[in-house]
Structure 1
Amino acid sequence: MPRRERPLLPLWAAVLAAVVGGVVLDAAFPDIGWWPLAFVAVAFALVSLIGRSIGGAFLVGLAFGVAFWFVHVSWTTRYLGVVPWFALAGLESVLWAALSVPLTLAYRWLPRFAPGRWVRLTALPALIAGLWTLRELILGNWPYTGFPWGRIGMSQSESPLAHLASWVGVTGLTFLMVLAVAAGIEWARAGRWRDARTAVPAAAVVALLFVLPAFPTSAAGGLRVGSVQGNGPSGYFDARERGDILNAQLEATTPLLGEDLDLLVWPEGGVDSDPLADRGTARLLDALSERVDAPLLINAATARGDDIFNTSMLWGEGEPQLHDKTHPVPFGEYVPDRWFFQMLAPDLVGLIGREYTPGTNPPLVEAGGVPVGLAICFDVIYDDVVWEGARDGAELYVFQTNNADFRDTDENEQQLAFARMRAIETGRSVVNISTVGTSQVIAPDGSILDGLPAGEVGAMLTDVPLRTGLTPAVVIGGAVQLAIGWMSFAAIVLLGVLATARRARERRRP
């Protein structure tokens, strides 16, 4: 059996490279947003893992994870301090490290059982890209509902590669980006500069990244949307009285009174009482809908029986149409296994008095006959919510959010970039409206139609293009994830079985 190849870097240099790679990867996301750095970061990560032992791979992966996650989600300290920051970033870093080990094993095992040059130039990069993407899928789904915030593909909202998301989704874009880097590394390691054929795999992937156009959807008219950024006291610790947030939205809506509009949109938490239970709030909303001669798309905490929901409501066209947030935020909107975490951090856990229940109703309402897809705040990062709305017929999206607990941090810009990627991925316009900003109306190609800066009261009145037709990302996105995830998992397991069997045979030899 061929001996394990030597690491490309000594361990100390590999750890240093991993730290640099993690910091560089964060810089690829907003608010810096230098998207080419994502490729640089992947290169640092892969080079540092080649030839490592299992323990070395975990250490290098941990160094990368800590450098990336502790910077990337530092906005969690804005009000709650370092404990939630350490808990979230620490967990993500440990998972990142553990799931870096299969990457190292792929570099070790595949060349042993298929040592040919073309296997290393094609199959090995594909396996590496698949395992990297599998790691993203695991972190995005587990534990609890996962946290798909640091996906490589999401860093490309301002890049010419974003259009690829309309074909293969964000997951597929991650795979192709890592594939391009891994193929380039193997081409460089092969060292056959005069044989132009060896550059074909890497060059083909790079060409695919930049040449394939966005998938077109069909124009279906427009909708005149008024959207309001009230900038009220909507943060968790903001001092306020009952009705202050609602009054802030009403005051910010004033410039739209008398305007011709088809839909009026308020942000997440724009109504601070339950209009389904509070008759005074319901009458006020009825009067506003009648005055603007259009339905309202609002959001409030609602109670039905013993359950509490984060609910978006279309108000003013008969019975309210409801969508409850599909993925309430663990440790933000509910506490999983509260009994356990109460013992660890009773003061912090005690702050979360409400226990939001996950919604099961579709992320879609119909405003004046126009289907409108919804995603409430962090639900924008979950593929299933966005794709379900498109498959149910959404002709545009409204993403209602409340960034008040993260004022003056990168969180606002990162979430806005995710909204832009969703517009491109689905070929739909997006109205992304926040309580405190930044709010934007985004065209199906990702361009900005209208916007409001953070921290200011304002309203937009925008003719929003409507689209029909499903992009391949929506149609096959789930299958792409299953194929990449399960095929990569099966491949590394098979290689592990073969490696174990070979070692057993060698031990039995005299």
Structure 2
Amino acid sequence: DSVFLPLAALGGTPLLSFAVVLCGFGLFEAVRRFRIRRATNELPRLAAAATAAAVLVPVAAALASLPLVDDSAEDGTATVAAIQGNVPRLGLDFNSQRRAVLDNHAKRTEQLARDVKAGKVPQPDFVLWPENSSDLDPYRNADARIVIDDAAKAIGVPTVVGAVVEPDTGDLRNTLIQWDPDKGPVATYDKRHIQPFGEYMPMRSFVRIFSSDVDRVQRDFGPGKKVGVFDLAGTDVGLVTCYEAAFDDAVRDTVEHGAQLIAVPSNNATFGRSEMTYQQLAMSRVRAVEHSRAVVVPVTSGVSAVIRPDGTIVQKTRMFTPDALVDEVPLRSSLTPATRMGPLPEGVLSLLAVVGIGWVATRAVRARRTR
């Protein structure tokens, strides 16, 4: 919500973070210099100039970046629905209610279909379910497949379903499945950045010393390798599963592969009513500005949201409440400087940090030798 947000479109989250920290240190230094000035009546010009620059340059850069923030519909619009089916109970045990979670999302989709037929909401072009909306593998469980298929047929448009897929051998997969109402599953995306201590257990025998909860993860998940972009009714949708929203490359890859909007299917039920869900929603708002794309966030238990390319939230749900969001979102294909440069700003800032530390260390050594 701050003045610095447009910097995300210029240099991504590294530049945005750097600007916030630099301005904070500049404000601190301004207070410190003011106190020294009152005590000694001295204010070196170079110190005053550096302090002013630390505060003013990030703000000026952010204001100069405002033209990069654009939510116009370059490629037309798409009407998207995000389903929040809710979970029977919050906390780590929600997974024991896998069939109930699936049924909740199917029922809410079928309710949406009835609302569309009654003219209460517009017909969506496609529907997004959250991560873990079906922890029953629909390739192995015929009853789960039937439930998903009936819901997709009821709404009559492509539906993205978050499922746990259990291969015969190897690791589990946290998978998003593109479900066609006529053909069934037609494409998949396996989550690439999987969560340590949640989806896989590193150092299992060592961590068990501190908590037996490590054994809740009985079979580790494995990472996918391919970028996820689904063609949903003519719209290229980039897929970023939950935890992946924290990784610059995972989001940028989808846009570089043609995504016109970004979907972040998530499951925050494990975290209860903590601030985690709002933190993740804030990440998605920054990603929207960073890549100038609308972002749709379907979550099992909330908060689900529709975010414009300028970072504003136009619709959102309450936590632990079944709901469906339907909205017409702008589609875009142009690339921001942040998308084009990728990790370059982070590399430049890191290099500046190394140079700065080296300069300070050299001055300190010289001063000590002089004394």
Any conservation in 2 of the 1:234–1:245 contact (CA below 8 Å)?
no
- Report the counterpart of residue 174 of structure 1 in structure 2: 17
- Report the counterpart of residue 321 of structure 1 in structure 2: 187
Whole-angstrom CA distance in 2 between matches of 1:448 and 1:200: 34
- Report the counterpart of residue 232 of structure 1 in structure 2: 87
How far residue 487 of structure 1 moved from its aligned partner, in angstroms, is 3.3
Partner SS state of residue 264, structure 1: strand
Whole-angstrom CA distance in 2 between matches of 1:252 and 1:209: 42
Report the CA distance shift for 1:283/1:161 in structure 2 as closer, same or farther (over 3 A).
same
Residues 423-457 of structure 1 deviation map (CA, whole Å, 9 limit, x = unaligned) = 11111111111111111111111222222111211
* Residue 280, structure 1, aligned to residue 143, structure 2: yes
Report the CA distance shift for 1:278/1:160 in structure 2 as closer, same or farther (over 3 A).
same
- Report the counterpart of residue 295 of structure 1 in structure 2: 158
Whole-angstrom CA distance in 2 between matches of 1:316 and 1:475: 33
- Report the counterpart of residue 120 of structure 2 in structure 1: none
Unaligned runs of 5+ in 2: 117-122
Report the CA distance shift for 1:184/1:159 in structure 2 as closer, same or farther (over 3 A).
closer
* Residue 414, structure 1, aligned to residue 279, structure 2: yes
Number of residue-to-residue matches in the alignment: 348
After the TM superposition, which parts of structure 1 deviate over 4 Å for at least 4 consecutive aligned residues? 184-188, 190-197, 239-242, 497-503
Whole-angstrom CA distance in 1 between matches of 2:325 and 2:57: 44
Whole-angstrom CA distance in 2 between matches of 1:497 and 1:234: 58
Partner SS state of residue 60, structure 2: helix
- Report the counterpart of residue 367 of structure 1 in structure 2: 232
How far residue 297 of structure 1 moved from its aligned partner, in angstroms, is 0.6
Partner SS state of residue 365, structure 1: strand
Report the CA distance shift for 1:265/1:204 in structure 2 as closer, same or farther (over 3 A).
closer
TM-score, scaled to structure 2: 0.84
- The one-letter code matched in structure 1 to 2:85 is G
Partner SS state of residue 224, structure 2: coil
Whole-angstrom CA distance in 1 between matches of 2:27 and 2:3: 20
Unaligned runs of 5+ in 1: 1-157
Residues 138-190 of structure 1 deviation map (CA, whole Å, 9 limit, x = unaligned) = xxxxxxxxxxxxxxxxxxxx223212211111110111222223344555538
- The one-letter code matched in structure 1 to 2:106 is L
Report the CA distance shift for 1:346/1:213 in structure 2 as closer, same or farther (over 3 A).
closer
Report the CA distance shift for 1:363/1:490 in structure 2 as closer, same or farther (over 3 A).
farther
How far residue 200 of structure 1 moved from its aligned partner, in angstroms, is 5.2
Any conservation in 2 of the 1:234–1:402 contact (CA below 8 Å)?
no
Report the CA distance shift for 1:257/1:205 in structure 2 as closer, same or farther (over 3 A).
closer
- Report the counterpart of residue 221 of structure 1 in structure 2: 76
Partner SS state of residue 334, structure 1: coil
Structure with greater helix share of residues: 1
Written as runs of structure 1 = structure 2, the 5 A alignment for 1:242-253 is: 242-253=98-109
- The one-letter code matched in structure 2 to 1:203 is L
How far residue 498 of structure 1 moved from its aligned partner, in angstroms, is 6.9
Whole-angstrom CA distance in 2 between matches of 1:464 and 1:224: 6
Report the CA distance shift for 1:455/1:242 in structure 2 as closer, same or farther (over 3 A).
closer
Report the CA distance shift for 1:205/1:338 in structure 2 as closer, same or farther (over 3 A).
same
Whole-angstrom CA distance in 2 between matches of 1:175 and 1:382: 17
Whole-angstrom CA distance in 1 between matches of 2:58 and 2:164: 47
- The one-letter code matched in structure 2 to 1:257 is A
* Residue 355, structure 1, aligned to residue 220, structure 2: yes
Residues 474-506 of structure 1 deviation map (CA, whole Å, 9 limit, x = unaligned) = 111410111111331244246546755886x67
Whole-angstrom CA distance in 1 between matches of 2:211 and 2:278: 32
Report the CA distance shift for 1:252/1:359 in structure 2 as closer, same or farther (over 3 A).
same
Any conservation in 2 of the 1:307–1:356 contact (CA below 8 Å)?
yes
Partner SS state of residue 287, structure 2: helix
How far residue 369 of structure 1 moved from its aligned partner, in angstroms, is 2.4
Of 177, 181, 197, which aligns to 1:331? Answer: 197
Whole-angstrom CA distance in 2 between matches of 1:390 and 1:249: 28
Report 1 or 2 for greater relative contact order, CA contacts < 8 Å, sequence distance ≥ 6: 2
Whole-angstrom CA distance in 2 between matches of 1:459 and 1:183: 45
* Residue 271, structure 1, aligned to residue 137, structure 2: no
- Report the counterpart of residue 443 of structure 1 in structure 2: 308
TM-score, scaled to structure 1: 0.63
How far residue 332 of structure 1 moved from its aligned partner, in angstroms, is 1.2
- The one-letter code matched in structure 1 to 2:84 is Q
How far residue 465 of structure 1 moved from its aligned partner, in angstroms, is 1.5
- Report the counterpart of residue 212 of structure 1 in structure 2: 65
Identity %: 29
